[in-house]
């Protein structure tokens, strides 16, 4: 039953419904890529302040980028059944709009399991860092539309939203 979903289709549950870590040891090592995106909506004034670099706590996007990369590296510490993964690369980029910041995280590895959760975690942590650094200015910010946009590698192959 290694690598096969339990009869109910959830790989992180055994046939009795108990949580388990999926055994990835027999899986083929392949290059795997995960891309996730999220949006932080905010007031136009906050977006402008971030873009102009005048937020009192410092360079919001530089700190959020580092936080996102660190989040990707620490995903298995945050999500109980995720495997620790040797990440080959993690990139976090931003696109500032009139009243939002779009975040895109790309994570790559070569190994027996994918990096979708690492990409999602990178986006989440970057978004929360933006909120944290700007909350005194704009408590109405929201983190929205977090999702996986593409993945490649592994037995299930490529997928794109």
Which residues are marked as active site? Answer: 132
Burial class (CB in 10 A: 0-12, 13-18, 19+), 86: exposed
* Closest to 124 measured CA to CA, from 100, 108, 140, 148: 148
153: region left, alpha or beta (phi > 0 left; psi from -120 to 50 alpha): left
Q: Whole-angstrom Cα distance, residue 161 to residue 96? A: 22
DSSP 156: T
CA angle 106, 32, 89 (to 5 degrees): 45
Helices (H), 13-159: 44-52, 60-73, 75-78, 116-134
């Amino acid at each position: 039953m290694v690598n096969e979903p339990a009869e109910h289709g959830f790989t992180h549950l055994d046939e009795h419904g108990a949580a388990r870590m999926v055994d990835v040891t027999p899986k083929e090592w392949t290059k795997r890529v995960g891309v996730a995106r999220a949006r932080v909506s905010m007031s136009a004034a906050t977006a402008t302040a971030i873009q102009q670099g005048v937020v009192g706590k410092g360079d919001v996007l530089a700190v959020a980028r580092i936080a996102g990369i660190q989040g990707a590296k620490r995903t298995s510490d945050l999500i109980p059944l995720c495997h620790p993964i040797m990440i080959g690369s993690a990139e976090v980029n931003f696109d500032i709009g009139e009243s939002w910041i779009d975040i895109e995280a790309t994570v790559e590895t070569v190994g027996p399991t994918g990096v979708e959760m690492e990409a999602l975690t990178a986006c989440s942590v970057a978004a929360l860092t933006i909120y944290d650094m700007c909350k005194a200015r704009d408590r109405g910010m929201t983190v929205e539309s977090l999702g996986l946009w593409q993945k490649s590698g592994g037995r299930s192959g490529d997928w794109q939203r």
